[in-house]
């Protein structure tokens, strides 16, 4: 089963995937993390990606699809969850050429809540774990003891740019999958447990 997670930054996709992994064998394709991993290598491609991300823009489709194909080739079984891909209609068409999409979960979050969450989040520079600033001490990752940092693109200007890009490019994707009958809208303004409960119900229904 292939599931696409769609939602504005801060909607809790990472937290949801963590919860789902306790119930299913999850193969996560997190485009954001894959790109950050490349940035961490300090390769020429990583430097290109960092320059784009720091401006609050999205990387080109050719970079995204190459990274995606490399990841897909390693998957053998389980539920595959796409996080951060597709971001636009062009990428949705690319994904159709690679594999089928069985379910699209839209984590619907208000801009106000999203902004508050993003400005208060920390990300582990080693394992990618995401948490709230208020929940940790000394900025040490509770999972791997790595350093928790504020992502370089988590600034108000950059966030507002991403919001605008999201509205312009992602909304048409929702309409595309809605017409297919595979789109489910989930209220993401609630607690992670409430969101997880609804998503588990939806996944089990689509699996039957």
Q: Which residues of the chain are modeled with pLDDT < 50?
A: none
Fill in the DSSP letter of residue 59. Answer: P
pLDDT of residue 208: 67
Query: What's the pLDDT tens digit per position in 29-62?
Result: 988 788 888 888 888 888 988 998 888 887 887 8
Contact 1, 79 (CB under 8 A): yes
C-alpha dihedral over 81, 127, 25, 182, to 10 degrees?
-10
Looking at residue 201, its pLDDT comes to: 96
Would you tell me how many other CB atoms lie within 10 Å of the CB of residue 100? 9
Taking residue 112's Cβ as centre, other Cβ atoms within 10 Å add up to: 9
């Amino acid at each position: 089963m292939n599931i696409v997670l769609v939602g504005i930054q801060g909607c809790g996709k990472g937290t949801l995937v963590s919860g789902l992994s306790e119930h299913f064998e999850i193969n996560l394709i997190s485009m954001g993390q894959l790109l950050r991993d490349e940035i961490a290598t300090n390769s020429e491609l990583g430097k290109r990606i960092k320059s784009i991300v720091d401006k609050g823009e999205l990387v080109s489709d050719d970079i995204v699809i190459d990274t995606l194909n490399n990841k897909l080739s390693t998957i053998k079984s389980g539920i595959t969850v796409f996080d951060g891909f597709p971001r636009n209609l062009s990428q949705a068409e690319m994904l159709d050429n690679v594999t089928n999409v069985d379910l699209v979960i839209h984590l619907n979050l208000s801009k106000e809540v999203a902004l508050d969450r993003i400005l208060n989040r920390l990300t582990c520079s080693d394992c990618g774990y995401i948490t709230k600033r208020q929940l940790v001490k000394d900025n040490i990752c509770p999972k791997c003891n790595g350093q928790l940092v504020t992502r370089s693109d988590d600034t108000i200007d950059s966030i507002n740019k991403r919001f605008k890009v999201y509205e312009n490019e992602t909304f048409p994707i929702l309409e595309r999958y809605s017409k297919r009958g595979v789109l489910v809208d989930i209220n993401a303004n609630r607690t992670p447990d409430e969101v997880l409960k609804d998503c588990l119900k939806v996944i089990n229904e689509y699996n039957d």
